[in-house]
Amino acid sequence: MKTTTMLGALLVLALAAGCSRHDDAMGPAQKAGKAVDEAGDKVARELRAPLEKANEAAKQLAERAEEERRQIAERTDEAREKIRDATAEAGRGLQKATGKVGEKVEQAGEKMQDASR
């Protein structure tokens, strides 16, 4: 039992000595992990500016496209209005011409009646 107690005490001392390392002293896996983290941070910092520029360019392109769409819609509305006006004007002209043709046919009919008497 003395041997077991002694071995236990030695084990506790050894573990305590191993755990009392300084926080600054890192093992190989910790160093590798830190290097990977730092490399990832560096890549993220380097990519942030180009991504922000691309995002801004996409935003400006979308704004220009929306402005073009609005202008096309406006011109389309104007064209529709002109077509409506032209159609209405043509309809009025057709009515006027039909009225004149009707008058001429009526006059011709009267002349024919007068000639037949």
For the chain, 117 residues long, the average pLDDT of each consecutive 10-residue run is 54 52 74 90 89 95 97 97 95 93 89 82
> Residues near 26 by Cβ (< 8 Å), separated by ≥ 6?
34
Q: How many CB atoms lie within 10 A of CB 46?
A: 9
CA–CA separation, 24 and 32 (whole Å): 14
pLDDT per position as a tens digit, 15-46: 555 544 554 688 888 988 999 999 888 888 88
- Helical spans, DSSP H, in 1-117: 2-19, 28-116
Q: Which amino acid is at 86?
A: A
- Is-above-0.75 flag for pTM? no
Contact 34, 26 (CB under 8 A): yes
The amino acid at 40? G
- How many CA atoms does the CB half-sphere of 39 hold within 13 Å? 6
How many Cα atoms within 13 Å fall on the side-chain side of residue 83?
6
pLDDT of residue 80: 96
pLDDT number for residue 20: 47
- At 59, list the tokens: 């935003």
The pLDDT score that the predictor gives to residue 17 is: 52
The predicted structure's pLDDT at residue 85: 95
Q: What is the pLDDT of residue 116?
A: 80
